Chains A and B, each alone.
Chain A
């Protein structure tokens, strides 16, 4: 069965330090993978997506993610955290011909001054 696991429910970093949000997926097929961000009382904004092109995907606001098939991972990184990055981040997998998606449980990122 397909699933998405976000390994950390909360991550806390200091401003200016690197961010790593971890995501592992299980899929029988080549998945499409996405990272979305949700700021308080806002909708879900696409950060980046992987759809079988380059394995290193660059997104908005300096975020990037690397698809590693051997590790079934799609971790989100950013070299230097900013206060405005504080939000909830969701790893999402699309499968079953793309008509169904599974969300990870989310990782709340805290950024300390």
Chain B
């Protein structure tokens, strides 16, 4: 079964620093997503990306966040100036079709645990 790969698995950063979280979606998938899960809370949608542009974003996804597909295989989430409250598990996902269609629905990576100190 194909996988979504996320790196790093853990990242610790100082408040105010920029971080880039990386994801390699499944190669034939066209739709890409980022979610976060603050410890003990529910998984929250951040952003979806299709055809090299943002399709939908939540109110969490403010100006300090950006996404990019720089080279046709990687999909990155950048947080420009991290805050303590950005500490969370960040999940990348991809889907073959819109709405989670296709055989595997939304396929999630194992996540990057971001700790801001």
Contacts and interface: CB of A to CB of B under 8 A. Distances in A.
Contact of A43 (B44, B100, B105, B111): B111
B75 interface: no
A4 to B, nearest CB: 9
B42 A32 contact: no
Interface in A74-113: 90, 92, 94, 96-106
A99 B91 CA distance: 16
A98 B100 contact: yes
Given A32-B100, A100-B48, A43 B42 contact: no
Given A32-B99, A51-B99, A46 B111 contact: no
Contacts of A45: 108
Interface string A34-54: 101000001111100101000
A101 B4 CA distance: 18
B101 A98 contact: yes
Nearest to A43: B110
A44 B107 CA distance: 8
16 contacts: A32-B101, A43-B109, A43-B110, A44-B93, A49-B100, A99-B31, A99-B50, A99-B55, A100-B45, A100-B48, A100-B56, A100-B58, A101-B35, A101-B45, A101-B106, A102-B45
Interface of B: 4, 31, 33, 35, 42-45, 48, 50, 55-56, 58, 91, 93, 97-101, 104-111
